[in-house]
Amino acid sequence: MPAAVSLILPLVVVGVALFLYYRYSLFNNSLINVAMGFFLGGSLGNLVDRLFFGYVTDFIDIHWGRFQWPTFNLADMAILLGTLLFIVFIFRLRLRKTPKHG
């Protein structure tokens, strides 16, 4: 797949998803808004690096004894945090809708 397509296709998909999100107000919750902010901010940060420099610079390198975590950057951390917050939101939503037995 050409590089331009691999950058533009996800951007179009996210753009359509955001349009639908705001158009239909599927979630009116501050947790989901913060999660989306982190996710989109990190994604756009990596996209800007890739468009202007042709690559993303990963500079955080964590070692613990012989263990080495894959190198990452702040944008990757924001994407991960947004994803984790979204998962928390989904579990909270699911728990709220689960009928109580007893």
Q: Which of the following is catalytic: 42, 75, 76, 82?
A: 76
DSSP β-bridge partners for residue 72: 60
Q: Which amino acid is at 48?
A: V
Residue 12 dihedral angles phi and psi, to the nearest 5°: -65, -45
Verify whether residue 58 is a known catalytic residue. yes
Alpha-helical (H) ranges within the chain are: 3-24, 30-53, 74-97
Verify whether residue 76 is a known catalytic residue. yes
Q: Which of the following is catalytic: 40, 45, 50, 58?
A: 58
Angle, in degrees to the nearest 10, between helices 30-53 and 3-24: 160
Catalytic machinery residues: 58, 76
